[in-house]
A and B are shown apart, each in its own frame.
Chain A
Amino acid sequence: MIRQLSVREIKTLHALAQCIIPGGGQHPFSYRDVDYISFAKEMIANVPVHVRWFIHFNLWVIHYFSWLYLKRPALFSHLSFTEREFVLTCLSKSRWFLIRSIYILTSALLLIPLYKDERVMKAIGYFGFGHAGNKKGDTL
């Protein structure tokens, strides 16, 4: 039986999404436009058991231990947007690979569903699947 996302993990994912795929900026799509929770559930159902553990472990670490970067006890989902952003920047820029990979894997849970959405792909100008557009002439 696969352990799926708990209520606490879903809360953490929502808090992460607001920072990793925020509203505004260079294209209009954000955490509001995609169902990253369903995607995360699908991912959990399809990855090997140790990756599944790692996903749960990452969400647990982020939820309970983010305050270590702020030096005041608080759960991740209770932090302000700026504090959450600060914590995530610290994780993503850590010189320890294991800490960085907590950020990389967790951000993939949010970024893949956003950028695989056809509306988002169109907004950034990716129409994919075209034929070769040789803009540089045809000799080397």
Chain B
Amino acid sequence: MIIDSQELEENYHASADVVIVGSGAGGAPMAYKLAQAGWKVILLEEGRNNNPADLNRNSWEAMKEMYRDSGMLATLGTPSIPLPLGLTLGGTTVINSGTCFRTPEKVFAEWKEKFGLSEVQYADLIPLFEESEKMIHVQEAPYELLGTNNQMFAEGARKLGLHGRPLMRNVINCKGAGICAFGCPEHAKQSMERNFLPAASELGATIITSARAEKIITQKKTAKGVEGSFLDAKRKRRTKFRIDAPVVVLSCGAIYTPYLLLNNGMANCSRQVGRNLHIHPAAKVIAMFDEAIDAWNGVPQGYYVDDYAGEGIMFEGFFLPPAILSFALPAMGMKLKKYMADYRKMAGFGIMVTDTSHGRVIKGLNHSPLIFYNLNETDTAKFVKGVEIAARVYLAAGANKILVPIHGIDEITCEADLQKLHDVKIKPGHLELSAFHPMGTCRMGDDAKNSVVNSHLETHDVKGLFVADASVFPSSLGVNPQMSIMAFSLFAANYLLKNKSQYSV
């Protein structure tokens, strides 16, 4: 059953075998797996059960409805970086681009070396990747759906001898409508509310939307349930609720899980809750061509180039509707109007950097955490290199002008202009970035002194309290994280199924 809390009585009180908080890439597979085994599952989601098709394909409406804080969440630091998160049934998967990568083996090996992770081997994850990929219909983006935006970059990359491929995506009958990040209006993208969640519901799970968990109930360092508030249509507290359960799984994402734990003063003997935040920051490079590209036509993130992935630089397609792109361009007044009048001739590609920088989430005001993050010089240098490569690719593809996200270097029109990237020392504060993949704030590891959860994702400090979301990754993954989150969540669910007697389920 998927039900909005407004349909439930005041001071609702229920009990279950497990209460899961959050319905994104971490919470949804957990709910499905446990419900499949006959557990009584209650899943709480703060957002509503939105239907992207109702949002009239309007990016601002979608942001208001399905993004936390209308998409205005950002890090504090140099530079300040917008960090959008989903607030809807299905979590951030509803507003993501649908790109699917398995955890790189090299990254997993580094985690094992540094943090032990004694209970999990890469081989254990493979069937879990397969299970998730089957459930969410992962397939390679067909070339004809890539649109000219991705094809231009592909052409430039090929001329430079770089290797690219269409991305693997979780879609059925994608129409290339080009607004994945604002909710797929065609219901083609297979985000959590289209598969794991309805399947869990059919297996008996109760999924309550507009329900915000606020307090984790414990007794003698053992989880006992969750208390919180049901929200009204304006997202204000309507009434309190309480769910009793011997297993509590936090899947609120890498910002809100540590925030909840910090608010509860819980699971933090290691003092690592909220620390080690990696965000996998991204920069946009915009190219102008002589002819119309109509970059919104086709899958926005449909192609990637990974020749420099070993150095922590990944190239993936992107494009944005005019309202959002307009304030990302380095111009004002008439010059900006001129750029926007050429919107049809623009193409865009993103550069994502595996960050060695790290930040921290702390308690803020009024149900909003504060997120601190400063980019370091090493990562800045990776961005400069990435921008130079992307600009070369676009020049090779025939672009007449490239707008780069570096302060003071607005336009690149020829190879000689690339020298500008080396003429001045580019500092972190000179970059205009955004980020979409926060992780690391409740990292996993064998040592309770420097990690928050063990490798089956149970907190070291509180028996029965699990974290299954992007918070648990000890370092930046270097690829889009949703598949890794799903696989680790299923791993923890399998652990629970094997050990249920320990939790009196």
Q: Mark B337-367, 1 if CB is under 8 A from A, else 0.
A: 1101111100000000000000000001110
Q: Is the CB of B175 within 8 A of A95?
A: no
Q: Is the CB of A133 within 8 A of B148?
A: yes
| Bound Cα distance from A95 to B177, whole angstroms | 38
Contacts of A128 in B (CB 8 A): 57, 178-179, 296, 321
| Bound Cα distance from A127 to B72, whole angstroms | 26
Segment 322-344 of B: residues with Cβ below 8 Å from A: 322-327, 330, 332-334, 336-338, 340-344
Given the interface contacts A112-B327, A139-B143, does A132 sit within 8 Å of B298 by beta carbon? Answer: yes
Asked whether B299 is an interface residue with its Cβ less than 8 Å from the other chain, the reply is yes
Given the interface contacts A88-B332, A124-B343, A134-B146, does A95 sit within 8 Å of B408 by beta carbon? Answer: yes
Contacts of B327 in A (CB 8 A): 104, 107-108, 111-112
Segment 18-56 of B: residues with Cβ below 8 Å from A: none
Q: Mark A33-77, 1 if CB is under 8 A from B, else 0.
A: 000000000110011111100000000000000000000000000
| Bound Cα distance from A52 to B154, whole angstroms | 41
| Bound Cα distance from A125 to B341, whole angstroms | 8
Smallest CB separation, A91 vs chain B (Å): 9
Q: Is the CB of A132 within 8 A of B341?
A: no
Smallest CB separation, A45 vs chain B (Å): 9
Q: Is the CB of B297 within 8 A of A130?
A: yes
Q: Is the CB of B407 within 8 A of A93?
A: yes
Contacts of B430 in A (CB 8 A): 95, 97
Asked whether B311 is an interface residue with its Cβ less than 8 Å from the other chain, the reply is no
Q: Can you name the residue of chain B whose Cβ is closest to the Cβ of A29?
A: B337
| Bound Cα distance from A101 to B429, whole angstroms | 11
Question: Which bucket holds chain B's interface residue count?
Answer: 35 or more
Asked whether A89 is an interface residue with its Cβ less than 8 Å from the other chain, the reply is yes
Name the contact of A85 in the complex, choosing from B151, B158, B330, B333 (C-beta under 8 A): B333
Q: Is the CB of B151 within 8 A of A26?
A: no
Q: Is the CB of B333 within 8 A of A138?
A: no
For B292, B297, B364, which residue has the most chain A Cβ atoms within 10 angstroms?
A: B297
Contacts of B151 in A (CB 8 A): 134-136
Smallest CB separation, B148 vs chain A (Å): 5
| Bound Cα distance from A112 to B327, whole angstroms | 8
Name the contact of B74 in the complex, choosing from A51, A124, A129 (C-beta under 8 A): A51
Smallest CB separation, B249 vs chain A (Å): 26
Asked whether B147 is an interface residue with its Cβ less than 8 Å from the other chain, the reply is yes
| Bound Cα distance from A47 to B341, whole angstroms | 30
Asked whether B294 is an interface residue with its Cβ less than 8 Å from the other chain, the reply is yes
Q: Is the CB of B407 within 8 A of A115?
A: no
Given the interface contacts A25-B334, A93-B408, does A133 sit within 8 Å of B340 by beta carbon? Answer: no
Smallest CB separation, B471 vs chain A (Å): 20
Interface stretch (choices B2-10, B58-66, B263-271) = B58-66
| Bound Cα distance from A115 to B285, whole angstroms | 20
Q: Is the CB of A24 within 8 A of B407?
A: no
Segment 6-20 of A: residues with Cβ below 8 Å from B: 19-20
Q: Is the CB of A89 within 8 A of B332?
A: yes
Question: Which bucket holds chain A's interface residue count?
Answer: 35 or more
Smallest CB separation, B333 vs chain A (Å): 5
Segment 76-120 of A: residues with Cβ below 8 Å from B: 85, 88-89, 92-93, 95-98, 100-101, 104, 107-108, 111-116, 120
Q: Can you name the residue of chain A whose Cβ is closest to the Cβ of B154?
A: A140
Q: Is the CB of B79 within 8 A of A97?
A: yes
Contacts of A135 in B (CB 8 A): 148, 151
Asked whether A131 is an interface residue with its Cβ less than 8 Å from the other chain, the reply is yes
Asked whether A27 is an interface residue with its Cβ less than 8 Å from the other chain, the reply is yes
Name the contact of A129 in the complex, choosing from B69, B185, B325 (C-beta under 8 A): B185
Smallest CB separation, B309 vs chain A (Å): 19
Q: Can you name the residue of chain B whose Cβ is closest to the Cβ of A89?
A: B332
Name the contact of A116 in the complex, choosing from B58, B145, B407 (C-beta under 8 A): B58
Smallest CB separation, A16 vs chain B (Å): 10
Q: Is the CB of A115 within 8 A of B323?
A: yes
Smallest CB separation, B122 vs chain A (Å): 30
Q: Is the CB of A50 within 8 A of B147?
A: no
Q: Mark B301-331, 1 if CB is under 8 A from A, else 0.
A: 0000000000000000000011111110010
| Bound Cα distance from A88 to B78, whole angstroms | 21
| Bound Cα distance from A133 to B152, whole angstroms | 13
Smallest CB separation, A106 vs chain B (Å): 10
Q: Is the CB of B177 within 8 A of A131?
A: yes
Q: Is the CB of A97 within 8 A of B332?
A: no
Asked whether B15 is an interface residue with its Cβ less than 8 Å from the other chain, the reply is no
Smallest CB separation, A23 vs chain B (Å): 10
Contacts of A101 in B (CB 8 A): 79-80
| Bound Cα distance from A62 to B147, whole angstroms | 42
Given the interface contacts A26-B338, A48-B72, A132-B147, does A112 sit within 8 Å of B344 by beta carbon? Answer: no
Q: Is the CB of B148 within 8 A of A134?
A: yes
Given the interface contacts A49-B368, A50-B370, does A115 sit within 8 Å of B177 by beta carbon? Answer: no
Given the interface contacts A46-B69, A95-B407, does A20 sit within 8 Å of B343 by beta carbon? Answer: no
| Bound Cα distance from A88 to B64, whole angstroms | 28
Q: Is the CB of A27 within 8 A of B179?
A: no
Given the interface contacts A48-B368, A130-B297, A136-B151, does A120 sit within 8 Å of B334 by beta carbon? Answer: no
For A43, A101, A135, which residue has the most chain B Cβ atoms within 10 angstroms?
A: A135
Name the contact of A133 in the complex, choosing from B297, B325, B333, B366 (C-beta under 8 A): B297
A/B interface sample: 11 pairs, CB < 8 A = A47-B70, A50-B365, A50-B370, A88-B332, A107-B327, A116-B322, A129-B177, A129-B179, A130-B178, A132-B175, A140-B154
**Residues in chain A within 8 A of chain B (CB atoms):** 19-22, 24-27, 42-43, 46-51, 85, 88-89, 92-93, 95-98, 100-101, 104, 107-108, 111-116, 120-121, 124-126, 128-136, 138-140
**Residues in chain B within 8 A of chain A (CB atoms):** 57-60, 64, 69-70, 72-74, 78-80, 143-148, 151-152, 154-155, 158, 166, 175-179, 185, 292, 294, 296-299, 321-327, 330, 332-334, 336-338, 340-344, 364-366, 368, 370, 407-408, 429-430, 432
